Amino acid sequence: MAVISESVKAMNGYKLHVVKTEKYKTNTLVWKMKAPLEKDTVTLRSLLPHVLQSSSSSYPATGKLRSYLDELYGATLFVDLAKKGEYHVITISVEIANEQFLSDPTPLLKKAFQFLSEILTKPNVQGGAFDQDTVEKEKRTLKQRIQSVYDDKMRYSNFRLVQEMCKDEPYALHVNGEKEDVDKITPDSLYEYYQQAMAQDELDLYVIGDVDEADAESYAGELLSFEERTPQTAPASAGRAKESVNEVREEQDVKQGKLNIGYRTNVVYGDPDYYALQVFNGIFGGFSHSKLFLNVREKASLAYYVASRLESHKGLMMVMSGIDNSNYDQAVNIIKEQLEAMKNGDFTEQEMEQTKAVIKNQLLETVDTARGIVEVLYHNVVSGKEITLQTWMDEMDKVTKEEIAETAKKVSLDTVYFLTGKEAGK
Amino acid sequence: MEKITFDQLQEELYYESLENGLDVYILPKKGFNKTYATFTTKYGSIDNHFLPPGKGEFVKVPDGIAHFLEHKLFEKEDGDVFQQFSKQGASANAFTSFTRTAYLFSSTSNVELNLETLIDFVQDPYFTEKTVEKEKGIIGQEITMYDDNPDWRLYFGLIENMYKNHPVKIDIAGTIESISHITKDMLYECYETFYHPSNMLLFIVGPVNPDQIMSQVRNNQSKKNYKELPEIKRQFEEEPAEAAEKKKVLEMNVQTSKCLVGIKSSNANQSGKEMLKNELSLNVLLDILFGKSSEHYSSLYNAGLIDDTFSFDYTQEEGFGFAMVGGDTNDPDRLAETLKKMLLDAREKGAISQETLDRTKKKKIGAFLRAVNSPEYIANQFTRYAFNEMDLFDVVPTLESITLEDVENAAGNLISEERFTVCQVVPKK
């Protein structure tokens, strides 16, 4: 049984991926635009999808555009930005009810394609520039969005760790761009960038739901057509090999200290030892049965949350925890000991099997949601590999204790970031 | 076992009330990998003043104890239950709200084993002084984490403003001080009062065989001895109709201000169909007023008073209810004034057109279809509805039946100057 089956077709300038499933009462279109992450374009790219979704040539006011979506049984339009390794990915998705669950037989899927096409190809433009009011409003919101990272200390400390750890690498850039670059953007420059992105980005459209493949293909062919292109690839940057661990301490008026530790895993998605890395991360800190949770939280009572996660396309592992300011040394030591234990193969067969089972469970659960399906499949687009979910699970099953310990040995501590409360500094 | 079919939605729900009073629901979902099960007790942070079974006097327990009990139930003599679930390939979790404590797992294999583990661990408390003390450190960090979170402080600040006496104003986790008083005996007392099967609901959704699952649950329960539980007696102080405080400003380490406007509900004692209609009418009202297609949203956004963190919500449970509207803003006072005026104006009859109502109802129906894609949503919401004597699957027909008059009545009942309150978070000077 194939866990998810995706049919992929090359269209004009993009790839169409159809995943047919009867699980959902809605159909989902997910549009992805990928380009290298660069200082010069990151802020333009962050602004662009928000301008596109706020109005279009047929719906020049946000209220009109949103009323139309309400009319379509509350179809949702949603934009998002992500960093995948050294790429900056724009996602625009439309989700719409499947009319078989409504008493009204209006063919909604085609309307969803028409709407996505309107948003992408008929923006609210006059005289070679985006509508000025829209751009100004969205610039203001973008500045607030960038600024909001400072107010959520968990997000902030995570962002600061990456910034410190990846200094001089594109990955240090914030996913929403740089505040000081927002004001430089004009309706003209953004429109120029829009044309460039539409001509050069790697484009993918995913269609998930109980749809007829031929219908999807004919709607896509009729409504979405772009120039052929050879997508740009980001130069692989392994990151500097640091001579010593970078320790950063920042003081702010907070009650709880935020401890964020960054490691280089030296393994990325698609590498032969990527599966061992997944299991390693799971035993180390990915779950509530993991070493970090058991030793930092359950045994030492130092934290409510402590976990590690991977950035698979960049080869990073990040540990995050909220601790009392005075427990810094103890927490760092316990975390370091757990990594040493992993390197020494100091974990049981049972911990390993347990972790594999939980990861498998997590993957299967992920593909129970339309968005999860797209996330899993899109790894292949980012990495240029072709790994099915079944291969992923089979390969992970074969991973041995030795391979996990060997992979753990490749993991090196890079940066320890601590956001600490003011009293601790006194 | 009873079978209920929902033709339009193409779903089937199986139901049985067991001898010991436990309500069990099973919703088969073909094509899904995941089975999701929740085991929920009608016991939350507001249930802090009650009559323990067999006792003559009401007791008042420390703030945060329901949540503390939720944490402690995972620990057993031979280790912690998270471990056991993960050995069985499942992930487990729990949450405590104002009115409920839910324990849950999700898994794509070993479903029956995981279900057995879920039921058994919740029905087998094990508390010792030592493990209770240890938990105080962990929950202390959870509380401190929320203390630094401006959105949480804003949300609770607003509820505190509304209520003078009702325990909904108490933070679900309590305070570091209040949890320091919790003992193992208090945990047992709360457990004995609220964790009887007749006060609980089990919901299983996933690619399961309902006959098999129901007989498993029946067998499991028949092995356990439960004495019949007298009706649970909770005590709540009298609550005035008006908001307790008009305004609160919290200074925090933030760069952008935040502002929420709240309205305390006037219809806090509803349940069943009446409650469903009222809450859906108010949800429709708020959507008409503040949804992204509304004139108000555009004018607030265009004026730079809101950004995309702007949101609105109406919450109602037995004994309390409130609406809230707001988000991040550069001008919290102007936003509060504007929102208040918009809400007061919405009380006028004729302020809403039939066309807008019809469009909004369509939108809500689509949103419901989207929501029932999610097993988590179905299980959690079904339980919440059932505890309030409502039926989740009545949402679409009830939405369809809502008239302009319903919305106008709901608006008229809710919106009143004396029930308004404002909470703001502003940067520290």
ipTM here = 0.93
Beta strands in B91-190 (DSSP E): 91-96, 101-107
Task: Tell me, yes or no, if B253 comes closer than 8 A to chain A by beta carbon.
Answer: yes
Contact call for B33 and A305, based on CB within 8 A: no
Q: Which of B105, B7, B42 is nearest to B375 (CA)?
A: B105
pLDDT at A426 over 50: no
pLDDT at A2 over 70: no
Q: Which of A168, A242, A289 is nearest to B86 (CA)?
A: A289
3-state SS string for chain A: CCCCCCEEEECCCCEEEEEECCCCCEEEEEEEEEEECCCCCHHHHHHHHHHHHHCCCCCCCHHHHHHHHHHCCCCEEEEEEEEECCEEEEEEEEEEECHHHCCCCCCHHHHHHHHHHHHHHCCCEECCEECHHHHHHHHHHHHHHHHHHHCCHHHHHHHHHHHHHCCCCHHHCCCCCCHHHHCCCCHHHHHHHHHHHHHHCEEEEEEEECCCHHHHHHHHHHHCCCCCCCCCCCCCCCCCCCCCCEEEEEEECCCCEEEEEEEECCCCCCCCCHHHHHHHHHHHHHCCCCHHHHHHHHHCCCEEEEEEEEECCCCEEEEEEEECHHHHHHHHHHHHHHHHHHHCCCCCHHHHHHHHHHHHHHHHHHCCCHHHHHHHHHHHHHHCCCCCHHHHHHHHHHCCHHHHHHHHHHCEEEEEEEEEEHHHHC
Contact call for A147 and B255, based on CB within 8 A: yes
Distance CA A255, CA B148 (A): 6
Query: Which residues, other chains included, contact A71 with Cβ-Cβ below 8 Å and sequence gap of 6+?
Result: B359, B362
pLDDT at A424 over 50: no
Window 276-335 of B, Cβ < 8 Å to A: 291-295, 297-298, 301-302, 304, 307-309, 328, 330
Per-residue pLDDT tens for A187-218?
999 999 999 999 999 999 999 999 999 999 99
Distance CA A344, CA A352 (A): 14
Per-residue pLDDT tens for A99-131?
999 888 888 999 999 999 999 999 999 999 999
Q: How far is A1 from chain B (nearest CA, A)?
A: 12
Q: Residues A245, A249, A254, CA angle at the centre, nearest 5°?
A: 145
The CA dihedral of A319, A324, A326, A331, to the nearest 10 degrees, is -30
* Residues A405-419, mean pLDDT to the nearest whole number: 97
Place of tokens 């016991």: B43
Contact call for A367 and B363, based on CB within 8 A: no
Distance CA A280, CA A339 (A): 10
Output the six-digit token pair for B53.
């079974």
pLDDT at A423 over 90: no
Residue A227 identity (one-letter amino acid): E
Output the six-digit token pair for B37.
């099960």
Q: How far is A70 from chain B (nearest CA, A)?
A: 5
In chain A, what residues touch B253 (CB-CB under 8 Å)? 252-254
Query: Which residue out of B11, B70, B116, B135 is catalytically annotated?
Result: B70
pLDDT at A181 over 90: yes
Structure confidence at residue A240 as a pLDDT band (50, 70, 90) = low
Output the six-digit token pair for A258.
């935020």
- The pLDDT, as a whole number, for residue A382 is 96
For A94, name the nearest residue in chain B, comparing CA atoms only.
Answer: B370
Window 105-134 of B, Cβ < 8 Å to A: 106-109, 134
Contact call for A74 and B328, based on CB within 8 A: no
- In chain A, % of residues over pLDDT 70: 97
Q: How far is B57 from chain A (nearest CA, A)?
A: 36
Structure confidence at residue A239 as a pLDDT band (50, 70, 90) = low
Distances (CA, A) of B37 to B43, B129, B213, B215, B352: 18, 31, 11, 16, 41
Contact call for A364 and B297, based on CB within 8 A: no
Task: Tell me, yes or no, if B87 comes closer than 8 A to chain A by beta carbon.
Answer: yes
Minimum-distance CB partner of A151 among B137, B255, B291: B255
Q: Provide the CB-side half-sphere exposure for A160 (13 A, CA).
A: 24
pLDDT in tens, chain B (429 residues): 999 999 889 999 999 999 999 999 999 998 999 999 999 999 999 999 999 998 889 999 999 999 999 999 999 998 889 999 999 999 999 999 999 999 999 999 999 999 999 999 999 999 999 999 999 999 999 999 999 999 999 999 999 999 999 999 999 999 999 999 999 999 999 999 999 999 999 999 999 999 999 999 999 999 999 988 889 999 999 999 999 999 999 999 999 999 999 999 987 889 999 999 999 999 999 999 999 999 999 999 999 999 999 999 999 999 999 999 999 999 999 999 999 999 999 998 888 999 999 999 999 999 999 999 999 999 999 999 999 999 999 999 999 999 999 999 999 999 999 999 999 999 998
Structure confidence at residue A78 as a pLDDT band (50, 70, 90) = very high
DSSP B174: -
* Residues A211-237, mean pLDDT to the nearest whole number: 92
Interface A-B, measured as beta-carbon pairs within 8 A, has a size of 197
Minimum-distance CB partner of B31 among A22, A61, A62: A22
Q: Are A170 and A332 in contact (CB under 8 A)?
A: no
- The pLDDT, as a whole number, for residue A315 is 95
B70 is catalytic: yes
In chain A, what residues touch B360 (CB-CB under 8 Å)? 70
Burial class, B249, CB count within 10 angstroms (exposed 0-12 / middle 13-18 / buried 19+): middle
Per mean pLDDT, which range of A58-62, A277-281, B225-229, B416-420 is the poorest?
B225-229
Query: Which residues, other chains included, contact A357 with Cβ-Cβ below 8 Å and sequence gap of 6+?
Result: B86, B87, B88, B89, B109
Minimum-distance CB partner of A73 among B106, B362, B372: B362
Per-residue pLDDT tens for A301-343?
999 999 999 999 999 999 999 999 999 999 999 999 999 999 9
